[in-house]
Every structure is written in C-alpha cells, then in structure tokens.
Structure 1
Amino acid sequence: MELFQLILQPNSLAHIGAAFPLYMPTNPLLLSCLLAAATPALATPASSLNSLSETPGTTPERGASITGTVLDRSGQPVEGALVSVLNRSTVTDARGAFRLYGLPAGEATVTVTGLSINPITQTLTLENGKAHSLQLTIEESVRELAGVTVTAKATSFAPEVDGTTLTAGKKNEVVQLDKLDANLVMNSSRQVFAKVPGVTVWESDGSGQQINVATRGLSPNRSWEFNTRQNGMDISSDPFGYPEAYYNPPLEAVERIQIIRGGGSLQYGPQFGGLLNYELKRGPRDKKFQFETNNTVGNNGLVSSFNSLGGTVGKVNYYGYFQQRLGGAWRDNSEFNVRNAHANVQFQATSKLRLGAEISHLGYVIQQPGGLTDEQFNRGELRSSSRNRNWFSTPWTVPAFTADYQFSDRTRLSLKTFGLLGERNSIGFTGAVNVADAANPTTGLRANRQIDRDRYRNLGSELRLLTDYGLLGQQHTLAVGVRAFGANLRRQQQGRGDTNADFNLDLQAPRFGRKLHFRTRNYAAFAENIFRMGSRLTFTPGLRLEVIDNEGRGYLSLNADGSENRISQNSRRQVLLYGAGTEYRVTEQTSLYANYSRAFRPVTFGDLTPPATSDVIDPNLRDSNGFNAEVGYRGSWANVLTFDVDAFWLRYDDRIGTLRRAVPGGTAGQTQQFRTNIGTSVHKGLEAYVELDVIHALTGDQSLPHFDVYASSALVDARYTQLRTATLVSGGIQEGDLQNNRVEYAPKYTHRFGGTFAHRGFSATAQLTRVSEVFADANNTVAPNAAATTGRVPGYSVTDASATYRFAKRFTLRAGVNNVFNKYYFTRRAGGYPGPGLLPADGRTWFASVGLKL
C-alpha cells in the first residue's frame, strides 16, 4: 500500500522513484528528463468521465481535444463505433474509448454511427486549450432486433493511442478473436493471422500448443523475434537471454491480439519483429455471473473443454477459465494432454484507482514423433514416426499484479508487476532421424534416453505514464516509462535417463553432463511523444535506454575423472534505441504513415554456451542491431473497403555465427570453432491487405447478407549482404562469404486469399494460403542431407474452411476442416527438438464445437 499512497500524491513521481530505486534506470540524465516531462502533467485538475467537462490547459492554445467513451444501454463499452467531429473521425477501441485532437474552436457536433446503431449526435462548443470529455450511450437499431446481419472486421488498426501504447505512425494490427471463423481450439495460427500480411508460420507441432510466427523474413522459432506478452507482460523464458515463448494462452480465452511491427521496440524493448501481445477476456460489467462453456471433438481422438466464469459484483470484476485438450494429433506417437487455467480479479478501489491480480498456469505433456527423412516424405509416409520415447513438458505459471490510476482525463499511470515460474523438460532419443532407435541385440534394451531440464524464475515491473498536454496551440500526448527485470535460468542437460518409453524425468546417473546458471538484470526507460501539427499531421519521436547485465557460470561437461570443465561469462552494456514516426490523415478515414526505429537482439545464452570445450566464444561478442523502416497507406472507404499497403526495409547487423580459425599460439594446423559476429542481412519488401464487402458495395443495402473477400500478401527479399565463413579444407582454413544468399526460412512470397459469408447468426469462411519455397540454412543448400536437417523446403498451398452459427442468444455451433484437400507439405527442418529431421505439417483434420453461455 505504500506505493499507492505515494501515487495518490499529485506531484510525486519522484517519490515513487525514491521508494523503488531498483525500478528506475541507472542513467540519471535520462531519468531527470523523464521526471521533468512527467511531473507537470500529474498536477492537471481532474474532471469527471461521466459528464461533459472542460480542463484548462497549462498555456493559451489554439486547438481543442475530445476524449470519451461509447457505451450501450447496459453500460457495456461499444467497440468499433465510428465517432466523427468536423473533418475528423476515429473508431472506439475495445474499452469503448476514443480520442480526437487538434480540433478548431467553435461549435461542433459529435456523431456516433455504425452498423446496427441508430446514429446519435451531441453538440458542444470547443474552446481553445480545453480538453473535453464525453460519455455517449447508443441505441440499437430496430433493424438489428429484426435479425439483420451485424459483422465487424476481425482485423483492424489500433487508434493512435491504444491504452498506454502509442501507435501513431506505426504499422499495427489488432485481431479480434470472437469475430473469426477459425479453429481456435487448436490455435490455428494461419487462420488467426490470415489478415496480417507477411506472417510466416511454422507448423510442426500437432498438439497446437506452440505458436511459431514471424514477419519480414525473420525466424518463426517459438515467436522469438517478437517481444511476446500477455496482457502487456512478458511471458517468454527470458527476453534478454532466451526469448523463446514456450507458453501461449489458449486462443479461446483471448479477446484480441495486438501486433506492432519493428516500431514497437521503442516502448517494449528488444526484438526486430516488434510486439506480439495477447489480451485475455475479462468478466462482463453488466452481469454478476456469466458462465461459458465450449466443448469440442475432432479426429485423432481430439477432445477439448473450455469453461469460464466471470462477472462484476459491486466494485469487483472477476474472470477465470479452465481448458483441457487431449488427443493423439495427426501423426503416430504424438499424444498430448494440455491443461490451461487462469484467474483475474480487478478491484475499483476508488473512482480513480483500480487494482488487479491475475495468475495463469499451463501444464502439459506432449509426445514428440520426431522428424522424417526426405525419402519417407516423398513416399507419402507423413504420419509415420520412428520415435515413440520422446516427450516434452513445460509447466508454466505467470502471476501478476497491476495498478492503474487515473489522475484526470489527461493523465493516467499504470504499474504492472509480473513473474514467471516455469520449466522446460524433455526426455528422449536425440539421435539423427536416419539413426534407428533400436534395441541392443545382446541385452534387448534400447539406449538410455537423454534428459534436459531448464528452470526459470523471473520477476519484473513496468511503470508507465500517459498524459495529454497543450503546447503551441495543439494537444499532444507523452508516454514515458521505466522497467526493472530480473531472470534466473538453471539449465541441466545431457542427463542419463531410463530405457523405457513413458514420460519419466528420473536420472539414472548422479549428475547431469552439463549444468549452467544464467542470470539477467535489465533496467530500461523510454519516452515517446505524439506531436500534433494541425488536425491532420502527427510526428512521434522516441527514445529507449536499455541497461543489460548477463552472467553465466557452471560446467559444460564432465571429464572421465569426474572433474568439471567450467565456464564463466559476464556482459554488461547499455543500448540506446531511437526512432520517429509520422502520420498524415489524407481523408477522414485514410492516412499515410512512415516510421523508422532502431532495434536490437541481445546475445542469447545459447550464443554464450560453447557446444564443446574446445570451442571459443568471442569476448567482444556484440548484440545484433539494426533498424526497421516502413512507409504505407491505410484506411477504409464507405464502410465497405479496408486496406493497408506498405513498403518496408529491415537491416539486421552483427548476426552471430561460428567460424573455424587457427588456435592463437597453437601448433601448426591446430584449429578451433570461434563464435563471433559474422554478418548482416537486409530484408525489404511489400505488404498489402485489402478487404471488400462485395454485396454492400454493390447495393448499399445493409439489410442484405455480407460477403467479404480479402487478400493478404507479402513480397519479401531477405538476403545476406555479408556472412563470413571459414571452414577446414585439406588441413587449411578456407574463407568465404555467403553474400547475396537468401536468409533461411524467409519466403519470397506469402499470400492468403479468402472470403466470409455472413447472414444473421451464421457465418462461414474459406481461406487459401500459398507460401514460396525457402532454404533451411544460410548456404542455401538445395539437395537434402541424409539426416534431413538441411536442404530446400518446397513451397505449398493449403485450404481451410470454418463456419459458426449463433442462435437463441446462448448457443454457438462451430465446425471446420483444416487442410481441406489433404496436401502434403512441411514448413521446417530441425537440427534438434522437436526433430531432428523434416517435420511434416498436419494433413486433413476436422473439429466440431458446441458452446453455451449462461
């Protein structure tokens, strides 16, 4: 409570920093700038959110602004309503909120329109330097009550201020999960991200648990090129040392997915891909109790049940769910049992202060069928498996506490404190796919399996302040924040397991063959500001300072006498990121945008771990760094056309790799593997998304059914401009450069085309996905090796179809077929887990669900 007592003091951000010194950056100059920028805003007088009000600015100004919310008759926020004032318009977000800036003084009419909404208006007088607040309540149209089809776009663009996130001038998408016809039970990524152009998906996990996505030619491996979050909080193993996201919430529980491309690095830190944030559902505000259940069956023994409870009692909003999904997946030896649970409580302590607590838990055991050889794939043996002893489990618990304080209509403060208690456990036979997991002819026993175990213990906190202020006749928006984060990873590998076939992590030897402890400490501060220049143009510069401290120690291997081959690694550095975006409103509903931002990818723990004791890590190993740049045009027309077209340029410097070199001071011909920064890649291309409501575009009659067609495409040229190589040839070292080679797993094109028919409570969607061939290694090897870990990955086409029927206000039926035409294809070759070998995607699968809401 000491923190919240300090927060309630109007001018006390400095006191907060004093109370929590570990949460502040170590750079005093930047901290002083943040405090100087933020503190005046905290003194802004408060105004009511429930009625029209005016808040004086700090200086005489020529512009005015309007903020507000749109609610329905039950008090629920209305998302997607179009709010128009003069020549400006915006769309309400998931909280029903909207903001409009840079409005001229004088009488103005605020209009709220949308499908199934009777238009409402309110007239007010805008005054220079005044911030006006509105709460507007809409009425449902008679036509909706008569059963007219009502649909909203499943994928949209965020407003320029989305919660405490600034998105003006950045390429972004918001995916609304409840508006999709998709297989959410199995987390079908290619359906969920269908209208996000350029998303590359790895489809190598038949359980549906792992979501492997990336954009712009980056690696999809467990989404590690994204800063992956849930409700705005980190969920990956360690964003600064091991950024793989083993946990993803079940998509049945997700309200929306927020995606910000590379420009998100200024507010959320490292990773070239930007931000990928899953926002979970909340309990309804107009009901004390609501129960929802969704039960699904499918082929290969799929059975899933998702159940949730939520509501609002007095000042408390609550929500929780439990999901269990089990089955045999599509391939042999791919049994899975997945359990997800979550609980969230929000307490409105005062009219301005909201406190929250939540916890998410994942528990699962998955049998991994391993890889195939190319010969097996070409013979059509995609469902076969030569591994029945490989298992994987990642129990994951994410607790969090939040506090939000609304100083006024202009200023709000958000504190998120979050943790992670997680593990990564695997046991299995790790030999190459062309090596049989066969029994010893003498003993009749198979080889002892290998056990690898990671344990993660993380704790972090982020404090963000968002404020509107007046300057030079305009309303501007400032976002500042500080972050403190600590992570501890204990890694135990090469343990001797049993010879059985079940999931068993009991060691058969006293010690693991490798044992390491990695520690990360991170402190960061950022500031980003939307400057509004008139009613049409915004300019958004930003800075972020990262302070990172990595430490690693332990032993890589054991000698024959039991002694340890120990290592000790330390790295402390500061990284300054900067960038700017701009957006120009061409018409009321379209805008041009451009963005440039620096990005970096920290040296991972894997980069710091030599594969063998003779290998050497460069003591001057640097973080990968570079930038994202984009320019685009997006918007809508006449409520029937939505589009976003952009060109991008991504530069990825100081990529990390391994070279062969002569041992310094060694004997002639003595060499060693040396891990260092070896190259640069450049990714450039075009991304486009277009969606047209065909029937309404032709007729203008909203009472007719909807038929929306869409195209989501990306053309990418991702190549190495430098990638040094050094290999051992005939006793000597031969140097080379893979310049102009294509970046591995970067498709030249990714196209998704589809259509949705909707009438009353029924909707159906069909989608075609086409992806070009890629290479599995930087050498651009075409012919596969015997172990199927390198070689070309052919292009493919796959079709999906899903349908939803809602009736009697309480019931929902869903069904679908993925890979309708049973195409044989694969998206990945793996050198280790979950392979090794070629990992085929699923053939034709189906599901059917029955849902009930009480």
Structure 2
Amino acid sequence: MRFIFTTWLLLLLICFQAQAQKNTLSGNIVDEKQQPVVGASVYLQGTVRGVQTDAFGNFILKDFPKGEYVLRVSMVGFKDASRSFTIGDREAKEVNLVLEEDLLLLDAFEFSVSRGIMGQEKMPEVDNFRVNAARKNEVIRVGEINANLAMNNSRQIFGRTPGISIWENDGSGIQLGVASRGLSPNRSWEFNVRMNGYDVTPDPMGYPEAYFTPPMEVVEQIEIVRGASSLQYGPQFGGLMNFVMRKPDKSKRFTFETLNTVGNNGLFSTFNYLGGTEGKWNYTAYYQKRIGNGWRENGYFNTDHAHVEVNYAASNKLKLGLEMTYMTTESQQPGGLTDEQFAQDPRQSTRGRNWFSTPWFVPALTAEYIVSENTKFSLKTFGTFAERSSVGFMRPINQEDDLGNRQLDRDFYNTYGSELRMITDYQLFGKKQTLASGLRYFNGLIDRKQNGQGDSGNRMNFDLIEGGVYNRDLDFRNINYAAFAENIFRISDKLLATAGVRVESIYSNMEGRFNIVNGQEVLLSPQSRTRNFLLFGLGSEYKLTKTTEFYTNFSQAYRPVLISDLTPPATTDIIDENLQDSRGYNFDFGYRGSLGSYLKFDASYFYLNYADRIGTIAQLNPNGTIYQFRTNLGNSVSQGFEGYVEFDPITAFLKSSRFGYIHLFASLAIVDARYGDFMTTTVVDGQIREGNLNGNRVENAPRKINRYGITYQLKNFSVTWQLSDIGEAFADASNTVSPNAAATVGLIPAYQVQDLSGSATFKKRYILRGGINNLTNEMYFTRRAGGYPGPGIMPADGRTFYLTFGLKL
C-alpha cells in the first residue's frame, strides 16, 4: 500500500509541474438587486474545474490552459447563467454575472432559508454517476439539523426519515445500528453502507456489519436509497446508506473550524477541521477525539478519528483524488442485564472486564474523466484494513463472572476493490435520455480467530496468555464481479421510466481449524461455492404538478450467504451444500413534493418480499442421533406505510415574520413484517417436533415508528423538540412474550423519548450548541442481545446533556 500511495502522489506532483499555468479568471456574481450571491457554483463547462463564490460573491479560478471556454454559474433559486470567453497564456481575465431569480425554485429556496433547516430532501434525478429517479430516497443534511452530533445521536439524526428503526445500546456513538421495513438493525448490515460512494464495511458480500461510523460533525449529508438501490450498488435488501463527507471549501484558500463538546458522565469531544482550494488543488482534513465514561457502570470509550482528502485537476478533463480515513477505539462494554436487574437499576452492570476495539483504516484513490459534455467516467479504488477485537466474560448474564481467564476473539480484515462508472446523455425520440453503467471488482479476506484464552485482568488486553491458542481459526475469502446498467427514458416533460439490470458473480471459500478437542485439531472441510445471477428493476415517475410527483419502483434484491451462515456453531452441525443466497424484491409506490414554500411531504406504500431466509432445524441421522441442519427454510413479507410531512404555518399564513418561524414535522411508519411459510423444529424429550412461523411477526421489527418535532427559528438561533414514539417488538421469531432467565428472548416494550436541542451562531464565526437527550429520563431498551456486547437486555441511555462551543475561521 505504501508503494501505491507513493506512486500516486508522485504522479500528482509530476502532473502539477508539467501542466501548471498562470492563467487567472476572477469575477463577482450578484443578483438583480446587486446583492452578492454566496455559495454559487462556478465552473468551466465540460471540464472538472470549478469553485464557489465567497461571502462577497467573488470567485477565482487559476492555472488552466489557454483556449475558449464557457463559464457557467448555478445556484438554487436562480436561473443558470453562462458566458463565453477566450483566455490566453498567463492572462488575467475578469467576468461578472448577474443571476435572475427562478420563481419556481425560489419558493423552495426561500422555504429552506426561512426555516433555517433543510429537513428531509430527496436526491436529484441524476447525480454523481448514478440514477436516482423513481426511487424512494432521502437526503439528511446533517449540518442543518439540531442534534447531538458529537455523540452521533442516531435518534435525532434520523428523526425526519420515516421508518428507520434504531438499536440504542451504544451511547458512545462508535457504531450505528439502523434498519427499515422490518429488517435487522444489527450494525446496519441490511444496508449497503458506504462513505463518499465506496465501501467501508469488512465485506458487503460476506460480512456486511458496519463497525465504522464517521463523526457526524464532518458528515455533510446522509443519502438513503431504499431497497431499489440493489441494481447500482447491491446487495442488501435495505438499500444504500452513503455518508457524504464535507468537501473542501471551494471559495477560500484556507478555512478552519473547531467544535469542542462537554457533557455529563465525563464526556469531552474535540473536532477540528481545515480545508480549502488553491489553483488546481483542493484539500480537507479533520481530527476528532471523543472520550467519556458512558451512562452505565463499567462504561468507557476513547475514540480517535482522522481523515485527509486531496484532489488535483491534472487537466481540464481529468481530476485525481486521494482519501485516507483512520479510526481507533477503546470501549468498555457494560454487558447485558436480566429483566429483574433492569427493573431494579438500568445503570448497573455485572460485567467489568469486557472490552472492544476496532482500529479501522480505509484508503481510496479516485479519478474522474470527462469525455465530453454528455459522457464522463468515475473510478474509485478502495480498501479496508481493519480489526475487530473483543475480550471478556461471555457466558449468560445470569451467571456470575468467575474472574478467570477471559474469552478472546479477533477478526482481521484485508479487503480491496474497485468500481468503474460511466454516465452518458443521449437523444432519443427528441428527448434527452440518460444511461448509467458500471463494473465492480471486490476481493475480501477475513481471518477469524475465536475462543482464545485471554488474561484474567480487568483492562483491555488482546494478547493470548503464554502458550495459549485460538481454538477456532478460520479464513474466509470472497471475490465478487458485477456489471450493472440503468437507463432513464424521458417519455414526456411529465413522465419518465427507468429500467436496469445487474449481473453478479460471487466466489466464496472458507477453510481452517474449527476447534481443538482433547488436544486434537478439528478441521473444517473446505467449503467453496460460486453463484452467478441476474437482477432486474423497473420504475417510473409522473409529475402531477411542477412541484409534486408520483413515483413507483420494483427492484429485485438478494442477500449473499454470509460468513456466519457458513460457520457451524458446533462440530455436529451441518451446512446445506446447496445453501442459496436469499432472494426477493422491493416495491414502492408514493407521492411526494411541496406546496408553495410552506409544506413538504412524501407518503408511500412499500412491499418487501424476503425469500429463502436461512435458518437451522433439527434432523435425524440414520443412527437415530439428532443434528442441526442449516438451510433455506422460508420467507417473510414486510409491507406498510412511510410518510413524512413538514409544515411552516408562519410562512403559510403570514408569508414572513420578524419574530421568527415555527416548523412542525412528522415522520410516520406502520410496518407489518411477518413470516410466511417458514419451517421450524424443536427437540423435546429427544424427539423432534416440527412447527411453522407462518403469521409470526419478524423479530426486532416494531409495528409503529413515529417521530414528531417542532423547531423555532429566529435568524441564527434555533431550538428543536422531538418526540420518538416506538411500538413494541419481539426479540425472537417465535414471538416469545415472557423473558427467559438469560433475558435473550422476550418482549421489547414500546417507549416514548423526548429530546431538546438548540444552536446559535454569532457574527458568522462563533458557534454555540447544546441540548438534553431523553428529556424525561425514560428507562427503556431496544435490544435483547444473544451474544456480544450482551448477552441480555441492553439498556438505552437515560437523561444526558451536552454543550458545544465552536469557532470558524
């Protein structure tokens, strides 16, 4: 990897020396009232060169070859403007433009400005080498909402996104556990989790758990595309969740921001960011340190995040980039509780020796090349070099810690991949059509070491005792090739249709030592399998008015056989040689848009079919002994309603107010997730009894996920109150109501939680934020864990507060 980075940086320096120019284009962008337009996008048409206007409407472009160009300027609320110009070698030229208001877009623009927040947006029809039209999607503009960003408070961050269920058992903010439509929130593994468009999970095809979550203080927006994303991304039923990091400031050579947060339970967080643009170069970097004791006993976290991004315009057509992200974590895990312990005191902990750590390094090389105004390419080459380590006493929570040697488990991830995308516009039947296509390669290696003997101490230590070994030592390899294409057919000014296909090839191999019994190694029979298949999708969108539209989409999906599916928990268990990937599809039909500048909405019906779900049943050997057999057992169906509405009564009735604005929002979801024909078996008195889960609710799937909020905003001050109203759920597929002794199964009760948060900016430079999470100190939980970080009930945090001081330069 060091050779790759050195070569890449050397290439950038060579390009810089060979192609550096002294041309300068500067100017000023104003509106019809001669007021500066701040943050307008200014770029040379058909090139990768572009900047933004500063606080005075000024811009400057440097170091581009002589020739003839078209300067284009775009800004929400204004009509695009352009000017042709010619520039010679080492020439300084000035171009000034006046932007005209676009009345249609101006309403939406004024709506955003008046309320001081961006609420819930949708993605444009086409952007960043992908097709978004006809899809259920959301854009969360993280920096525009009132939330505890220092702690990655997901309940607040996803407050306006309908149907998002959240596991709130990690108050440290290190890991994110979210899902939608009745799927499991376990480390967000039903989503295809990406950052800036590339993978950050260990292996999307074999182990898609998201151990890494970027600091929300540097996330510009979170893009969510529901299940219909599988054609362009794959593979999860849940769809895409992409964290878009803050990009370099294109209006300044240098900008700096620091945010420092304190709170109860010893919380301290410092976030420091810098970035800017100079000629052909732009850059950004951040560092975050977060430390605290946690809300519960035996809770502690200490995390470090660092990121650097450098981009270079090697020519007018080619832009090269380098990104590197690094995270280290040190986290003490309080463990689970029994129901009795939770009722006595949710803050207590009987596990004082459990520790967890995930050092994570994600490098990425990027390139964008513009062939013409209608066709461009993108290449992202990325890797994940990381670890997942845990040590602790892992027996059921109703067993007392014997203070002996702790169980030690470690995973090592070495994965890399590349994704080439092309997008092109072409004319057909007198209309502009758009084709997005791509190729993908991924190679993942997971080295899993489990059931090792750690020390008998209390601190974090991931070393084996002297002479110790890992009883289980497995290697898992996944190689994936994919090709995909999706086209927008614009039939009329109001109607468009989309059609797409994805071709997948997956090769998986697992081998190694499964256990050591009486000093003898038990080797796992090497398991290799190759799967090839197609996915199809169709969608359409019809604009009923200029600001509202109907949309619908059908898209096939799949979930590959995971590393956990191929690993038997005991030597007597058997894995079906014909175990298949889970297959199914997502369907959406909805209506979304805005009315004037005071109402935004999105209401839809969804249907998710999850077929060939994997499970384990008891079987008889010819000799009469019983063994567990893992195979495809059945299916489940999730269907329901997702809705979002935000209303500004002041703008609706008074148009404007010098006393501020009030904004009301509701994010609603009704989810009916049930098993269909799904076989089960139990063993009673040595006999197998067959059953079926048909009609049972899917575990960890609340029927009701509702969130409501009110924001008051006056100039640079705003405060938000939010209520989360979540229905009950079951912890197991059998829908067990009464908990067992270990608290791993049983009902997860409904709950309501309130949050209050606010922010203020002074002189455009000084930032003050603060809030109280769980305002009424509700005692509740969202998860019963069967293993790490439990087992048992995982309590959510009670009342906490935070205060942030910031400075921008």
TM-score (norm 2): 0.88
Partner of 1:571: 529
Whole-angstrom CA distance in 2 between matches of 1:550 and 1:511: 26
Partner of 1:474: 431
State yes or no: 1:488 paired with 2:452: no
Q: Offset at 1:703?
A: 5.2
Partner of 1:129: none
Whole-angstrom CA distance in 2 between matches of 1:274 and 1:727: 34
C-alpha distance 391-590 of structure 1, shift in aligned 2 (>3 A)? same
Partner of 1:667: 623
* Structure 2 alignment gaps of length 5 or more: 5-24, 28-34, 44-71, 84-94, 103-108
Q: Offset at 1:165?
A: 1.6
Partner of 2:633: 678
Seq. identity, %: 50
1:354 aligns with one of 312, 316, 319: 319
Whole-angstrom CA distance in 2 between matches of 1:724 and 1:121: 60
State yes or no: 1:410 paired with 2:374: yes
Superposed CA deviations along residues 43-94 of structure 1, whole A, max 9, x for unmatched, are xxxxxx999xxxxxxxxxxxxxxxxxxx974664399xxxxxxxxxxxxxxx
Partner of 1:462: 419
Asked whether the 8 Å contact 1:321–1:343 carries over to 2, the reply is yes
Asked whether the 8 Å contact 1:316–1:346 carries over to 2, the reply is yes
Partner of 1:812: 767
The AA in structure 1 aligned to 2:311 is Q
State yes or no: 1:184 paired with 2:142: no
Whole-angstrom CA distance in 1 between matches of 2:123 and 2:703: 28
State yes or no: 1:241 paired with 2:206: yes
2:139 aligns with one of 174, 195, 200: 174
1:544 aligns with one of 492, 497, 502: 502
Asked whether the 8 Å contact 1:696–1:704 carries over to 2, the reply is no
Q: Secondary structure at the match of 1:300?
A: coil
C-alpha distance 184-588 of structure 1, shift in aligned 2 (>3 A)? same
Q: Offset at 1:162?
A: 2.1
C-alpha distance 213-758 of structure 1, shift in aligned 2 (>3 A)? same
Q: Secondary structure at the match of 2:265?
A: helix
Q: Secondary structure at the match of 1:269?
A: coil
2:670 aligns with one of 693, 712, 715: 715
Asked whether the 8 Å contact 1:356–1:403 carries over to 2, the reply is yes
State yes or no: 1:427 paired with 2:383: no
Q: Offset at 1:566?
A: 2.7
Q: Offset at 1:775?
A: 0.2
Q: Secondary structure at the match of 2:217?
A: helix
Q: Offset at 1:723?
A: 1.5
Whole-angstrom CA distance in 1 between matches of 2:641 and 2:548: 19
Q: Offset at 1:349?
A: 1.2
Q: Offset at 1:455?
A: 0.2
Superposed CA deviations along residues 734-756 of structure 1, whole A, max 9, x for unmatched, are 11111000000111110000011
Whole-angstrom CA distance in 2 between matches of 1:454 and 1:567: 20
Superposed CA deviations along residues 545-578 of structure 1, whole A, max 9, x for unmatched, are 1100000000110121333333311110012111
Partner of 1:63: none
* Structure 1 alignment gaps of length 5 or more: 3-48, 52-70, 80-109, 125-133, 439-445
Partner of 2:712: 757
Whole-angstrom CA distance in 2 between matches of 1:204 and 1:804: 26
Whole-angstrom CA distance in 1 between matches of 2:791 and 2:81: 64
What RMSD in Å do the two structures reach over aligned CA positions?
2.5
Partner of 1:281: 246
Whole-angstrom CA distance in 2 between matches of 1:307 and 1:137: 36
1:836 aligns with one of 791, 795, 798: 791
Paired residues, what number? Answer: 732
The AA in structure 2 aligned to 1:568 is P
Q: Secondary structure at the match of 2:461?
A: coil
Q: Secondary structure at the match of 2:41?
A: coil
Whole-angstrom CA distance in 1 between matches of 2:527 and 2:227: 30
Asked whether the 8 Å contact 1:204–1:840 carries over to 2, the reply is yes
State yes or no: 1:734 paired with 2:698: no
Whole-angstrom CA distance in 2 between matches of 1:72 and 1:418: 40
Q: Offset at 1:140?
A: 11
Q: Secondary structure at the match of 2:151?
A: coil
Which aligned pairs between 1:54-453 and structure 2 lie closer than 5 A? 73=37, 76-77=40-41, 138=99, 151-379=116-344, 381-438=345-402, 446-453=403-410
Q: Offset at 1:178?
A: 1.1
Whole-angstrom CA distance in 2 between matches of 1:641 and 1:540: 28
Partner of 2:463: 506
State yes or no: 1:535 paired with 2:500: no
Whole-angstrom CA distance in 2 between matches of 1:281 and 1:75: 14
1:770 aligns with one of 725, 732, 744: 725
C-alpha distance 137-374 of structure 1, shift in aligned 2 (>3 A)? farther
Q: Offset at 1:273?
A: 0.3
Asked whether the 8 Å contact 1:76–1:285 carries over to 2, the reply is no
2:650 aligns with one of 695, 699, 706: 695
Asked whether the 8 Å contact 2:40–2:74 carries over to 1, the reply is no
C-alpha distance 561-604 of structure 1, shift in aligned 2 (>3 A)? same
Whole-angstrom CA distance in 2 between matches of 1:356 and 1:545: 29
Whole-angstrom CA distance in 1 between matches of 2:487 and 2:99: 33
Whole-angstrom CA distance in 1 between matches of 2:317 and 2:710: 44
Partner of 2:577: 619
The AA in structure 2 aligned to 1:464 is R
Whole-angstrom CA distance in 1 between matches of 2:254 and 2:797: 39
Superposed CA deviations along residues 561-610 of structure 1, whole A, max 9, x for unmatched, are 33333331111001211111100001000000000000000000100001
Whole-angstrom CA distance in 2 between matches of 1:111 and 1:653: 49
Whole-angstrom CA distance in 2 between matches of 1:597 and 1:198: 19
Q: Offset at 1:136?
A: 7.4
Whole-angstrom CA distance in 1 between matches of 2:237 and 2:445: 24
Partner of 1:14: none
Partner of 2:69: none
Whole-angstrom CA distance in 1 between matches of 2:181 and 2:681: 28
Asked whether the 8 Å contact 1:695–1:704 carries over to 2, the reply is no
